[in-house]
Chain A
Amino acid sequence: MDKLKADSNNYPRRIAKGSLHLLCWSATWVATTALAAFGPRLIWDFATLPTIFAILVNLGIGFRLILQIKRYVQALDELGQKIFLDASAITLGVVMVCGVSYELLEDIRLISGEPQISFLIALMSLTFMASHLAGHRKYR
């Protein structure tokens, strides 16, 4: 059984390490987003230079997070990738359909006020989590 051990690198440990990296980059991105959102108002009184700097840092960390997600998905085994792909497809569909309907509600004046992007991000997160969990349950 040891014949394939040469390239063995303990899959669960590798994925746990990847998840930890992903968590760290996500937390950093959330922190820099909060800084870019609240910093101008609460810390540097809308000064242009720090605001531009905060946005550039936020964008840089965001791109690094995207790369980390890509790396994480590539490290998953094929069932993990399938579950991730299914969850992503469901999320994309739900957010597109609900996003357009939500925008329409304002256009036809069924709701007052501008649609908030944060609602769509919350919907996206909840849909992805639910469909990812459903995928894991399906193949349990």
Chain B
Amino acid sequence: MKNRFKVLRAERDWTQAQLADELQVSRQTVNAIETGKFDPSLKLAFKAARLFELGIEDIFQDERPQDS
């Protein structure tokens, strides 16, 4: 699963630590999500969407090619 965590965080000029504090996770978790090593749960994805004021599909995208 791809995500725009890093871009969205940079746009808002937040550090990983600030974002981690807002999401109530460790900075390691934010870093692992940004680098694609870890996919968050739906609960955390909703929390991030609420924080970024975006829909979940605007933050996370399935890497599988779309069926036409």
Contact = CB atoms under 8 A, between A and B. Distances in A.
Contacts, number: 55
Interface string B37-64: 1101100100100110000000000000
Nearest to A2: B22
A80 B22 contact: no
Contact of A80 (B26, B41, B47): B26
Interface residues of B, number: 23
B29 A80 contact: yes
A124 B52 CA distance: 43
How many A residues are at the interface, by size bracket?
A: 20 to 34
Nearest to A4: B22
A71 B47 CA distance: 23
Interface in A1-36: 1, 3-5, 7-12, 15
A136 interface: yes
Interface of A: 1, 3-5, 7-12, 15, 77-80, 82, 136, 138-140
